Chains A and B, each alone.
Chain A
Amino acid sequence: MAETFIKVENLSYLYDADDGNTRKALKDLSFEINKGEFVAILGHNGSGKSTLAKLLNIILTPTEGKIFVGGKDVTDQNMSDEDILALRKTVGMVFQNPDNQLVATIVEDDVAFGPENLGVSSPDIRKRVDEVLGYVGMTEYAKHEPHRLSGGQKQRVAIAGVMAMMPECIIFDESTAMLDPLGRKDVMEAIERLNRDKGITVIMITHYMDEAARADRVIVLDDGRLILDGTPSEVFEEEERLRECGLAIPQCTELIHKLRAEGISLEGECVSLEDCVALIERSLKKQ
């Protein structure tokens, strides 16, 4: 039985817009995320994705509604600083811009920054740093200067820095958006690995459909509301709905939908490229 890790109840967030009015960035959002789940959150620019991420980590506090992490109400006004610190240790975050997240002048110092602040002993820090750098494939860069790394390498260092705090959940806020294809691939592989092998709950905010296709579950936000929630396959079926809110499904999936509309029988999932190739191959050979 899956254990609920994050529970969001009737969450709303109001902010002051520049015209003096208040606007709702999030409207009455409710959902649950299980321990060890890999969830992608999709939505166009301004749909409220990043606001949601910041709320889950209590960088922002909700206007209405509650958030429970590991059964604990983290939106309780009486949360002490220690409680907030404990939450940030439990739920780590990796942001979009690789240049804004690294603080030290040497890669391994940067990774050590988090555990150092948590008061971890030196030998333990050493152990953690070596382990997490190995994990993201950056061991050989331990003594390098972060600013000389590529974007993808910087993001992997940032992920290592978060992992060194041993969180149970990591939120990725468009962490691949500024990377080239190779960098994106390396970072996606690191994310999948820490979910699969370490059981870390992953919440990945993105507008790349091919990345969302790799998650267990996809949540789609539009104008601050949750409009779709399901497996990638279920969500991609709603092609029109996604298009209406400015999102496009993967091209291969779109092709399969169009073939079906032409009356060709193609039964089964069509989320990944491999799925689609197999569907067409099988169907053609049957003819």
Chain B
Amino acid sequence: MSDKITVENLSYFHARKTPYEIKALDGIDLNIQSGTVTGLIGHTGSGKSTLVQMFNGLLRPYEGRVLLDGADIWAKPKDINKIRFRVGLVMQYPEYQLFEETIYKDIAYGPKNMGLSDDEIRERVLEAADFVGLDRELLDKSPFDLSGGQKRRAAIAGIIAMRPELLILDEPAAGLDPRGRDAIFNNIVEYQKKSGSTVLIVSHSMEDMARYCDRLIVMSGAKILLEGECREIFTRADELSAVGLDVPQITRLMLALKEKGIELDTSVFTVEEALEEILRLYQDK
């Protein structure tokens, strides 16, 4: 499988050359394969938001390169806008960024800037609204008339309407209840499957990551700490706890049981897997 994003020896500093200089990214090497759903985790200040802003050229590396489909995104700095159409970034609490008079206009803002025809824009707005499960009747309403969850969907639709090859979402489910979380994540995974695009989700929730992501990247102290499949990552609970992260509750349960001297497979992280594993213990007896 080819890489959608390749990051080579990437470094970045906040407040460079001032007394407040902070190294936000420290020599990062990374690749994200095309057509995958990858999770990016790390505690506050670990550098994950800085990293995702590198992927669509909102920030420019001080050292190193970011390659999109193998080409340096900063090869022609004047064309960086084109990269932003290809790499869509949904920021945290995007509902605070809605600004147009109607939801339709807000979703249409990206495609309009791409210079598309009105017909094409219309097609994309409707498609994006469907993808995020936003009722078409809401499109003519003002953002003020929508609930928080609906506004969140509208904001995500605004990015999807650009049909990005790489869709990045920073905490897309923050503040939503379990039903809202599931709905948003299912929509995102569905979008990935239908569009064949690549998705990167930034989140604190290990349970959500375990359910929806193929691979995980764990950041700590401006560096990549761990990278791999969810199953591999969660078995390293100690390392995760050491950097202020959690493993899914089920993994913690399995690890605690093992500590009590019960022999079992601790690499499971869903309720169903744990049920199977524990039932096996009873049958063995």
Q: Give me the interface of A with B, judged by CB distance under 8 Å.
A: 18, 43-46, 96, 150-152, 174, 177-178, 180-183, 207, 210, 246-248, 250-252, 254-255, 258-259, 262, 264, 273-274, 276-277, 280-281, 284, 287
From known contacts A44-B180, A45-B148, A252-B250, infer whether A174 and B262 are also in contact, taking CB-CB under 8 Å: no
Report, as a range, how many residues of chain B touch the other chain.
Answer: 35 or more
Q: Is B252 in contact with A273, judged by CB distance below 8 angstroms?
A: yes
Q: Is A151 in contact with B44, judged by CB distance below 8 angstroms?
A: yes
Q: Is B44 in contact with A183, judged by CB distance below 8 angstroms?
A: yes
Q: What residues on B are CB-neighbors of A181 within 8 Å?
A: 43, 204, 244-246
From known contacts A96-B175, A177-B175, A207-B178, infer whether A259 and B262 are also in contact, taking CB-CB under 8 Å: no
Q: Closest residue to A18 on the B side, CB-wise?
A: B145
Question: Looking at B177, B250, B279, which has the most chain A CB atoms within 10 Å of its CB?
Answer: B177
Q: What residues on A are CB-neighbors of B275 within 8 Å?
A: 255, 258-259, 262
Q: Is A174 in contact with B44, judged by CB distance below 8 angstroms?
A: no
Q: Is B147 in contact with A45, judged by CB distance below 8 angstroms?
A: yes
Q: Closest residue to A19 on the B side, CB-wise?
A: B145
Question: Looking at A18, A250, A274, which has the most chain B CB atoms within 10 Å of its CB?
Answer: A18
Q: What residues on A are CB-neighbors of B148 within 8 Å?
A: 45
Q: Is B44 in contact with A276, judged by CB distance below 8 angstroms?
A: no
Interface residues of B in 15-52 (CB under 8 A from A): 43-45
Nearest CB on B from A65, distance (A) = 25
Nearest CB on A from B103, distance (A) = 13
Alpha-carbon gap, A284 to B248, bound state (A): 23
Q: Is A45 in contact with B282, judged by CB distance below 8 angstroms?
A: no
Query: Which of B43, B93, B175, B256 has a CB less than 8 Å from the CB of A273?
Result: B256
Known: A177-B174, A182-B43, A207-B177. 16 other contacts (CB 8 A): A18-B141, A18-B145, A44-B177, A45-B149, A45-B176, A45-B177, A150-B44, A247-B177, A250-B249, A255-B274, A258-B275, A277-B253, A277-B256, A280-B278, A284-B262, A284-B281
Q: What residues on A are CB-neighbors of B177 within 8 Å?
A: 43-45, 207, 246-247
- Encode contact with A along B247-285: 1 for CB under 8 Å, 0 otherwise: 011101100110010100000000100110011011001
Q: Is B178 in contact with A247, judged by CB distance below 8 angstroms?
A: yes
Q: What residues on B are CB-neighbors of A152 within 8 Å?
A: 44
| Any A CB within 8 A of the CB of B179 | yes
Q: Closest residue to A281 on the B side, CB-wise?
A: B260
Q: Give me the interface of B with A, judged by CB distance under 8 Å.
A: 43-45, 93, 141, 145, 147-149, 174-180, 204, 207, 244-246, 248-250, 252-253, 256-257, 260, 262, 271, 274-275, 278-279, 281-282, 285
Q: Is B249 in contact with A273, judged by CB distance below 8 angstroms?
A: yes
Q: What residues on A are CB-neighbors of B245 within 8 Å?
A: 181
From known contacts A178-B174, A178-B175, A182-B244, infer whether A273 and B253 are also in contact, taking CB-CB under 8 Å: yes
Q: Closest residue to B148 on the A side, CB-wise?
A: A45
Question: Looking at A43, A45, A96, A247, which has the most chain B CB atoms within 10 Å of its CB?
Answer: A45
Nearest CB on B from A145, distance (A) = 12
Nearest CB on B from A51, distance (A) = 13
Query: Which of A177, A180, A207, A259 has a CB less than 8 Å from the CB of B278?
Result: A259
Q: Closest residue to A210 on the B side, CB-wise?
A: B249
Alpha-carbon gap, A252 to B274, bound state (A): 10
Query: Which of B93, B175, B180, B249 has a CB less than 8 Å from the CB of A252?
Result: B249
Alpha-carbon gap, A258 to B278, bound state (A): 11
Q: Closest residue to B176 on the A side, CB-wise?
A: A45
Q: What residues on B are CB-neighbors of A259 within 8 Å?
A: 275, 278-279
Q: Closest residue to B273 on the A side, CB-wise?
A: A255
Q: Is A276 in contact with B279, judged by CB distance below 8 angstroms?
A: no
Q: What residues on B are CB-neighbors of A264 within 8 Å?
A: 279, 282
Give 24 A-B contacts (CB < 8 Å), ordered by A residue.
A44-B177, A44-B178, A177-B175, A178-B93, A180-B204, A181-B244, A181-B246, A246-B178, A246-B180, A247-B177, A247-B178, A251-B207, A251-B250, A255-B253, A255-B271, A255-B274, A259-B279, A262-B279, A273-B256, A280-B253, A280-B278, A281-B257, A281-B262, A284-B285
Alpha-carbon gap, A254 to B44, bound state (A): 30
Alpha-carbon gap, A96 to B174, bound state (A): 12
Nearest CB on A from B284, distance (A) = 9
Closest 3 CB pairs of A and B: A246-B179, A44-B177, A182-B244
Nearest CB on A from B220, distance (A) = 12
Q: Is B256 in contact with A174, judged by CB distance below 8 angstroms?
A: no
From known contacts A181-B246, A255-B274, infer whether A46 and B147 are also in contact, taking CB-CB under 8 Å: yes
Q: What residues on B are CB-neighbors of A250 within 8 Å?
A: 249
Nearest CB on A from B258, distance (A) = 10
Alpha-carbon gap, A152 to B179, bound state (A): 25
Nearest CB on A from B85, distance (A) = 30
Q: What residues on B are CB-neighbors of A281 within 8 Å?
A: 257, 260, 262
Q: Closest residue to B144 on the A side, CB-wise?
A: A18
Q: What residues on A are CB-neighbors of B252 within 8 Å?
A: 273
From known contacts A182-B44, A259-B278, A281-B260, infer whether A44 and B179 are also in contact, taking CB-CB under 8 Å: yes
Nearest CB on A from B139, distance (A) = 15
Q: What residues on B are CB-neighbors of A287 within 8 Å?
A: 282, 285
